A and B are shown apart, each in its own frame.
Chain A
Amino acid sequence: MTSGSTGLAGTSILYDTIVPVCPEMNSPEGLKGPEGTTRPPVKILIVEDDEAHIELIKRGFSGGYEPTELIVAMTVGGARAEILKNPPDLILADWLLPDGKGAELIMSTQGVPVIPVVIMTSHGTEQIAVEVMKSGAIDYVVKSETTFTEMPHISTRALRQWRTIRDHDHAERALHENQEELRLALQAARAGVWSYDIKTGVIHWSKEYARLLGHGDDTGCPGYAYWVSCIHPEDRGLIHRLIQHQTGPVVKDIDLEYRIILPDGMTRWMNDRGRVFFDPAGKAIRVLGISVDITSRKMVELALAHEEEQYKNLVANINDVIFATDQSGVLTYVSPVSERVFGISPKDAVGRNFSDYIHPEEREEAKRRFSEALAEGPVGIETRLMVTGDMIKYVRISSRLVSTNGMVTGITGIITDLTERRQLEELKIRAFYQIEKNLGQMAVLNDQIRNPLSVIVLLAGAAGCREGQKIIDQAMEIDALVKKLDQGWAESAKVREFLKKHYQIQKE
């Protein structure tokens, strides 16, 4: 039951499903295309059981200025089959058909007809008109000589109206969806948006921004001063400079990090990115921004920075040199303190073999002990290093193997400078032996003093006179003094024993 004045009926391959949106038809010119372009004909399904009316409608379109493909169905059922087979752009349906009403062909999704339907009636009563419009038809015409002639115009108008409805609906839905997506995205990102009208001072917050500031869903903002009061006092200057005095094209894009204080006193870190808008004269009129709560990231950053600072301080302040070598002993890292302790800059040391620095007399022995001991686990050896200007440093090297996937990739360790300690140790030993020597000499001297005393006492005793006794008494006083020295010596012996134990000094 199809026919077309311009041919191609039922052969279109442009539409394989019921998709009414035809991009080429979105132009406000309706059926008119841009000059010089060829466009597919508008497909119109005529649903009419009166052959005479069909003929009149067709004749009406033949006078039209738009290429039109006319398809005809005489029943509701026939029309449905036709719609499925070859979806039209527009349906012109009679109000009353043998198997139902033309309005039954109206299919709507969310209140918008999928295909616009214009209902034609033979009798224009108000009741029918209301019923037709309620059913969702795009237009309603009473059949007459005039309306048949006007059909191309009526069709164009109907299509245009339908497109307007549809586009509006799409736009609204898209907007709604965008807003919803934005809202969800903002919530998920702990972000909010705001705008600041520089001229009026009016600030708009999104709900999300209000929530970030701890103000619930309140979108109203009491004003700039209040906004600033939410910001950490130390960061307010930053905001002032960027926003309040944003009067020239100095800054177009805003990217700043600052802290806010929540009503409960908690501090949170925000990152605001925004843009300043200018009037044609180049004067800033509006700032639009998005705020993201970056507290977690900032905390990690601050903790990391703190940790790094501590590590740097630690490495810089300890006198132990940290080093790493590859598996062949070539230094890959030397901590900066090396410069201060050994006069060797890390830059010079890296790339050289560690053993180059070991005193030649100890090199082979140290290498042997290292390789033997490292196989067992962490190792500590004491050796001598040759540093700047052939200076010798006594050091302790504590190190361990570094393995990756079971393969030895190098050695890491710590070098402790023992030079000063060693010098002190030597000084201590020398001092100790000096004390020993002095004490020994004291014991000898005591003995030597007692020899002449003995002579004096014996001589005086032999004399047997009063003066002799006096001399003996004096000699005994001297002996008493020497005895005190003996006492000191005996006590020193105890001190010596203590020193020996405490300082682990072995008699050589």
Chain B
Amino acid sequence: MTTIFCVDDNPDLVELLAELLKMTGYEVRTAPGGAECLRMLEDKGFHPDLILLDIMMEPVDGWETLRSIRDNPKTRDIPVAMLTGKHPTMSEAGLYGPMIDDYLMKPYYPRQIDEVIRHILVRADHVREVIHKARDHGVEGQVLSDYQRLASTVEVLKKFKEIIGTIEPFHDDLISNAEDRFAKIREQFAKSGVQA
């Protein structure tokens, strides 16, 4: 059963979201803040399929929590979607874009959250499959890891552009750089006989 880990300091929201996701058929775990989230992830038996992470939390905020998740080899590969009421800035997009799997502004419809989760899980399955094949074809570990991140980065950056672009000009070279790097990796995979 797919496990979703909801991290938000608003108890009403996190409760409601958990109910909603449970109704959809997911197993749901919740944490009221970044510190609790990280502590729970240390549990050997706990490895969620997706983390929905709020940003504005005290004392450990969402970005800090994200960095810890990505730094930890155990949790590094877990997809993370930021669910937040905070308007992102250009520097946040550049810094965290490559580290997350989606960015969803509050308030969101139940349908939206469902779509986001499905999309991330499907893409994660696909990525896992490609990586599995690639590893069999002898592609190096670093390239595989790059592929895994870039598979979502281009989409996330485009999402950031949608949100930020309504207020200030978005640095499009962020997107084109990610696209170029992703294309190169796919070429490399193709040479190795792997369809990405």
Contact = CB atoms under 8 A, between A and B. Distances in A.
Interface of A: 443-444, 446-459, 461-462, 472, 475-476, 479, 482-483, 486-487, 489-491, 493-494
A239 to B, nearest CB: 83
Interface residues of B, number: 24
A444 B168 contact: no
B107 A462 contact: no
B109 A487 contact: no
Nearest to A453: B107
Given A453-B106, A475-B107, A490-B168, A462 B20 contact: yes
Tell me if B's interface is mostly helix, strand, loop or mixed: loop
Interface of B: 8, 10, 12-13, 16-17, 20, 55-56, 84-87, 89, 105-111, 166-168
A454 B85 contact: yes
Contacts of B13: 451-452, 454-455, 458
A452 B15 CA distance: 12
Contact of A447 (B84, B108, B110, B166): B84
B10 A451 contact: yes
A456 B10 CA distance: 13
Contact of B107 (A456, A490, A491, A494): A456
23 contacts: A447-B55, A447-B84, A447-B85, A448-B56, A448-B85, A449-B85, A450-B106, A452-B12, A452-B13, A453-B85, A454-B10, A454-B85, A454-B106, A455-B16, A456-B107, A458-B20, A459-B16, A461-B109, A462-B110, A486-B87, A487-B166, A490-B167, A490-B168
Tell me if A's interface is mostly helix, strand, loop or mixed: helix
Contacts of A487: 166-167
A454 B56 contact: no
B110 to A, nearest CB: 4
A455 B109 CA distance: 10
Contacts of B111: 461
Contacts of B107: 450, 453-454, 456-458, 475-476, 479
B167 A451 contact: no
Contacts of A448: 56, 85
Contacts of A454: 10, 13, 85, 106-108
A486 B85 CA distance: 10
Given A451-B106, A476-B107, A479-B107, A446 B20 contact: no
A458 B17 contact: yes
